């Protein structure tokens, strides 16, 4: 079985191709980089529209498969930005109709988890999923990926990217902020906001920008912000690990590439006798391969969607999705 998957939820337009054994035959991704501020959904959608054809052809070539070899088309229907989602969905529907193949709906967050499980060979991990748009701590229980902690406002990646922009640094912002943090020497006091199992980063952002105006040393500010944010995450992850008693802790999403975050979470895992694993860099950020692979898992369990019902779902929560392949 060969499934082609399309990712277009935010800044990345990606096409991946995967087979039933979990081999990734192609993973081609084109990333929209905003000129000034944050992602403009309509501009990102325009980028996706312009690169779609080239990315698709390249993926087929790299995988060495023909369109007629495909058994199903998987599409990330959400969560994400409406205009971006619609570009991928349009292409997926067109391919499904043209090839007379089923369309398989994939939730973007489930895909970040499944590609991490595949590539780190984890069975039943507690997952820490940190990206530009999401901050979620999740584990499988009773048929679904349940949420054991999330952000109440902005995502961790978005938070540090915004701070980077305010500091005049280029994107992606997280490694930029971390590079300055590594030259910091002093940790200042900032708001530490954890409510139950949920985190809030917007107060931290406001406070950081205020300190900046007051003339704090930028390196110290970055160090403080990064350490506060990762400590909040570690606290929530630790409680989730203690509660779920999972024996693996897996880090996924774009920010999984952070060495400092890896270090902090590895310590949490070790204290609870859990094995710590990180998704490989190639599959950390948004990518087509994760949609293709999750498409394989879903399609094997008969999950398809009629074209006329394949609406995009901007706010499709992780814990709304049935995950029969884990049951």
Binding mask 281-300 for ligand AMP (x = CB under 6 A): ----xx--------------
Binding mask 201-240 for ligand AMP (x = CB under 6 A): ----------------------------------------
User: 243 and 121 in contact (C-beta within 8 Å)?
Assistant: no
Between 73 and 156, name the residue whose CB sits nearer to ligand AMP: 156
Tokens 């910091």: give the residue.
184
Q: Using CB distances below 5 to 8 A depending on partner kind, what does residue 5 bind out of Mg ion, ligand AMP, none?
A: none
Name the minimum Å distance from CB 245 to ligand AMP.
28
Between 101 and 108, name the residue whose CB sits nearer to Mg ion: 108
Q: Rounded distance, CA 2 to CA 22, Å?
A: 10
- Print burial letters for 66-79: b (CB count within 10 Å at least 16), e (below 16): eeeebbbbbbbbbb
Q: Using CB distances below 5 to 8 A depending on partner kind, what does residue 175 bind out of Mg ion, ligand AMP, none?
A: ligand AMP
CA neighbor of 76 nearest in space, from 312, 260, 264: 312
Q: ∠ at Cα 69 (66, 74), nearest 5°?
A: 100
Binding mask 279-308 for Mg ion (x = CB under 5 A): -------x----------------------
Per rule CB under 6 A, is residue 114 in the interface with ligand AMP? no
Residue choice 22, 34, 41, 175 for contact with ligand AMP (CB under 6 A): 175
3-state secondary structure (DSSP) of residue 319: helix
Find the binding residues for Mg ion in span 102-131 (CB under 5 A).
Answer: 131
Q: What are phi and psi of 286, to 5 degrees?
A: -55, 140
Residue ranges in the chain assigned as alpha helix (H):
41-63, 82-99, 108-120, 156-166, 173-181, 202-213, 218-244, 259-271, 288-300
Tokens 């959400």: give the residue.
78
Between 107 and 258, name the residue whose CB sits nearer to ligand AMP: 258
Instruction: Please tell me what DSSP assigns to residue 48.
Output: H
Residue choice 133, 149, 184, 288 for contact with ligand AMP (CB under 6 A): 133
Name the minimum Å distance from CB 207 to Mg ion.
27
Two structure tokens written together for 116: 């991490």
The residues binding ligand AMP (CB under 6 A) are: 131-133, 157, 161, 172-175, 253-255, 257-258, 285-286
The residues binding Mg ion (CB under 5 A) are: 131, 286
């Amino acid at each position: 079985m060969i499934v082609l998957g399309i990712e277009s939820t935010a800044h990345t337009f990606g096409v991946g191709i995967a087979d039933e054994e979990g081999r990734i035959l192609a993973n081609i991704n084109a990333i929209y980089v905003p000129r000034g501020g944050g992602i403009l959904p309509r501009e990102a959608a325009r980028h996706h529209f312009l690169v779609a054809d080239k990315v698709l052809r390249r993926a087929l070539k790299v995988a060495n498969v023909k369109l007629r070899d495909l058994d199903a088309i998987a599409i990330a229907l959400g969560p994400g930005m409406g205009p971006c989602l619609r570009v991928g969905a349009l292409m997926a529907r067109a391919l499904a109709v043209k090839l007379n193949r089923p369309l398989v709906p994939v939730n973007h967050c489930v895909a970040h988890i499944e590609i991490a499980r595949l590539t780190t060979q984890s069975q039943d991990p507690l997952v820490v999923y940190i990206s530009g748009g999401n901050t979620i701590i999740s584990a499988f229980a009773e048929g679904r990926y349940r949420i054991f902690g999330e952000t109440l406002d902005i995502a961790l990646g978005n938070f540090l990217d915004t701070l980077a922009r305010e500091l005049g640094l280029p994107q992606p912002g997280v490694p930029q902020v971390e590079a300055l943090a590594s030259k910091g020497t002093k940790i200042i006091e900032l708001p530490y906001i954890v409510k139950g199992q949920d985190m809030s980063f917007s107060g931290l952002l406001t406070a950081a920008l205020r300190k900046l105006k007051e003339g704090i040393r930028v390196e110290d500010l970055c160090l403080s912000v990064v350490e506060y944010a990762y400590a909040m995450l570690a606290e929530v992850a630790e409680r989730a690990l203690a509660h779920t008693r999972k024996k693996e802790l897996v880090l996924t999403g774009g920010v999984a590439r952070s060495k400092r975050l890896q270090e902090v979470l590895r310590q949490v895992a070790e204290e609870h006798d859990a094995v710590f694993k990180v998704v490989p860099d190639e599959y950390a950020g948004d990518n087509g391969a994760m949609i293709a692979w999750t498409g394989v898992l879903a399609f094997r369990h008969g999950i398809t969607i009629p074209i006329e019902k394949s609406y995009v779902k901007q706010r499709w929560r992780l814990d709304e999705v049935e995950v029969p392949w884990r049951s």
